[in-house]
Structure 1
């Protein structure tokens, strides 16, 4: 989700699909409540690591995982990318669609959890997951879904806040052990992938919005060399 850990082809326009949410209703309700609690949760500007890492890529098809209120998706569309944006919160998607209409860009909206979405396999030139709230499962379903979406020659860009993976359970109930971190995705990469960036770096953070207090990013950028064999 934009700025921080939150969390068949739809129509190619900025209208939202019908209420055909695919995923755990309790997860949707949790994120709907979080977004509804504030008029604007995130900064409204694209994430710094995304801007930096996409600068040298030729625009193609991109999947924005956990698009939140749509800042990354709108920026990508303005930059020439064909954008599919996925989000569990209907409240966030309504806001994102409004921002896309204001910007005059077309985006495909998918109201689903990553592991439940009917996404075409190996079809995206870029899969961008900026601080995603992906739930960890014994079968590594979310990690495998990220990798499965990337086309041969395409790039997976996964960015998260440094240090969160090793934190203790918060009083709020947030337990890092419940979520997917970049190291878990890296562990699944085989000879079909080339790691281009795997580092911790100072965060270039948009002003304002939740998560602005985080100072360092973990950035994983991996290129798929060939199709699944």
Structure 2
């Protein structure tokens, strides 16, 4: 099994994801638009669409990803929009290292990987809770169903290792201490998605939005 940087660099070499297939994550917009901008940590930022949108709303963003290929595209896009001073893009394998500090918003959008080791995603999400500042927010969005045109993995054996977590597994991974967190949203969200050839499918995502109280 390849390392995360190797796998995701290969993935982005063969797929132009953010700019070709969509814009900012719809759930991020819904959950964050009303928040006062501050500091944000974008985990698994890919080609930077979410980080760029956050910067456009006034956030100062640290955006990390395992794939330098994706980060190069993200930096180029941010610079073209004059946002390179508001976003720091950094290569980071979250299974090995995790950004230091605390943030007003931690965003983990579709943090799924077919090369993750058992328990790896859960450890990353639990670590994400520790990166949330007091009164800050954590937004975890996960696929529950995927579209038929979702990008194919580089090979079938890697695709077979990609399992989608249940809402219960997402909640359990955070290990939220009683009395220290407020659950703002925890539900499966239906929405219609339009594919690259105009095809329409209804998908579901699990949206988990919590706020640290102390």
The aligned residue for residue 125 of structure 1 is 104
The match for 2:177 among 184, 187, 190 is: 190
Whether contact under 8 Å (1:48, 1:205) holds in the other structure is no
SS in structure 2 of the partner of residue 203 of structure 1: strand
Q: Report the count of equivalent residues.
A: 193
Give 1:33 deviation, angstroms. 0.8
136-145 vs 110-119, greater mean Cα deviation:
136-145
Match of 1:36 in 2: 13
Is the CA contact 1:195–1:221 (under 8 Å) kept in the aligned structure 2? yes
Structure 1: stretches of 5+ with no match in the other structure: 1-23, 165-169
Partner of 2:43: 65
1:118-144 alpha-carbon deviations (Å, 9 max, x no partner)? 5224x1111111111253544842122
- Counterpart of 1:109 in structure 2 is 89
Kindly provide the CA deviation profile for residues 60-86 of structure 1, in whole angstroms up to 9, marking residues without a partner as x: 000011100111111100110010001
* Partner of residue 76, structure 1: 54
Superposition pairs of residues 1-229 of structure 1, within 5 angstroms: 26-38=3-15, 40-42=16-18, 43-105=21-83, 106=85, 107-121=87-101, 123-133=102-112, 135=116, 137-138=118-119, 140-163=122-145, 171-172=156-157, 173-177=159-163, 182-187=167-172, 188-191=175-178, 192-203=180-191, 208=196, 215-226=203-214
Q: CA deviation at 1:34?
A: 1.0
How large is the Cα RMSD of the aligned pairs?
2.7
TM-score, structure 1 normalization: 0.74
Cα distance in 1 between the residues matched to 2:53 and 2:128: 21
TM-aligned CA deviation for residue 182 of structure 1: 4.9
| Structure 1 residues 120 and 26, CA gap change in structure 2 (3 angstroms) | closer
Distance apart, 1:98 and its partner CA: 0.4
Distance in 2, matches of 1:223 and 1:136, equals 28
* Larger helix fraction of residues: 2
Cα gap change, 1:162 to 1:80, in 2 (>3 Å): same
Equivalence for 2:151: none
Q: CA deviation at 1:93?
A: 0.3
1:81–1:115: structure 2 CA closer, same or farther, 3 Å change rule?
Answer: same
Per-residue deviation, 1:202: 1.6
CA contact (8 A) 2:44 2:64 kept: yes
Higher relative contact order (CA 8 A, sep 6+): 1
Distance 2:202 2:82 in 1: 32
Which 5+ residue runs of structure 2 have no aligned equivalent?
Answer: 147-154
